[in-house]
Amino acid sequence: MSRIQRVFHNSDHKTFVPYIMAGDGGLSSLKEKLIFLQQSGVDAVEIGIPFSDPVADGPTIQQAGIRALKEGTTLKGVLETIQSFREEISIPLIVMTYANPILAFGVDRFAEQAAQAGIDGCIIPDLPVEEEDLFVPKLEKAGIELIRLVTITSPEERIKKITAKGNGYVYAVTVAGITGTRSGFNSDLGSFLQKVKTASRLPVLTGFGISTPDHVKEMSQYCDGVIVGSKIIELFNEGDLEGIKKLVDAAKAV
């Protein structure tokens, strides 16, 4: 059983997965952030790789990526940094990156070095299921799970096709748009998440726009847990570590 699978095996609470941008504040801050999140009780962490054309990202994550790029952050540097302290982190680590950085790096090289760094999963938001054979065989051979996304606009047959694959979890996107904090959600979101949950043989986590403890509790009613990105980045930048703990605790309370 992989580290990702163990997160959901006999879990007695809803899963909470934060997203952070590697290199935001310098790569030297990555270990400190991951250890804090682990100690706060998160179940896994998604680690963003900065990219110049982040089509799925809203302003907060875009700015975090720009700051990271200005720090000289590279995919190679991120993997080497994680490898240097991976033994101190027991929770799953999932890299979130676009297809181009992996292709430029080399898919074989990426799979090999990500495995050496102890990466458990990979999210590639601009990779359609029809094109994933470019990546999946090499990732799976290296023991890295591709985490697939479904969106609120995905037809039911496509949801079934996507959720039939893999052994990690399904990332259900809450909005028809980019990442970022929001005050509320579409009234059809609950039915969408229930539809994904019914179709999927894998655990379903939902993300994009979740930014308050109430959001965490509300969304967790419909699926196996939540993913919070923009708000986590904001709170780290503000030094509000208690705010991060409140979000994590909200998932544990459902």
Cβ neighbour number for residue 150 with a 10 Å cutoff: 26
pTM: 0.94
Q: How many domains does the chain have?
A: 1
Query: Strand, helix or coil at 218?
Result: helix
d(CA 223, CA 206): 7
What is the CATH classification number for the domain harbouring 130? Answer: 3.20.20.70
d(CA 215, CA 209): 9
Q: What is the pLDDT of residues 75-105, one digit of tens each?
A: 999 999 999 999 999 999 999 999 999 999 9
List the catalytic residue out of 24, 43, 57, 132: 57
d(CA 60, CA 33): 17
What is the pLDDT, as a whole number, of residue 182?
46
Measure the N-to-C terminal CA separation of the chain; round to a whole number of Å: 26
The pair phi, psi for residue 211, each rounded to 5°, is: -140, 0
88 catalytically annotated = no
Q: What is the pLDDT of residues 90-149, one digit of tens each?
A: 999 999 999 999 999 999 999 999 999 999 999 999 999 999 999 999 999 999 999 999
57 catalytically annotated = yes
Residue-number span of the structural domain to which 193 is assigned: 3-252
Pairing type for strands 15-21 and 204-207 reads unpaired
pLDDT > 90 fraction of the chain, expressed in percent and rounded: 83
What is the pLDDT, as a whole number, of residue 185?
57
Residues of the chain with pLDDT under 70: 56, 175-187
List the catalytic residue out of 43, 46, 71, 120: 46
Q: Could you tell me how many residues make up the chain?
A: 254
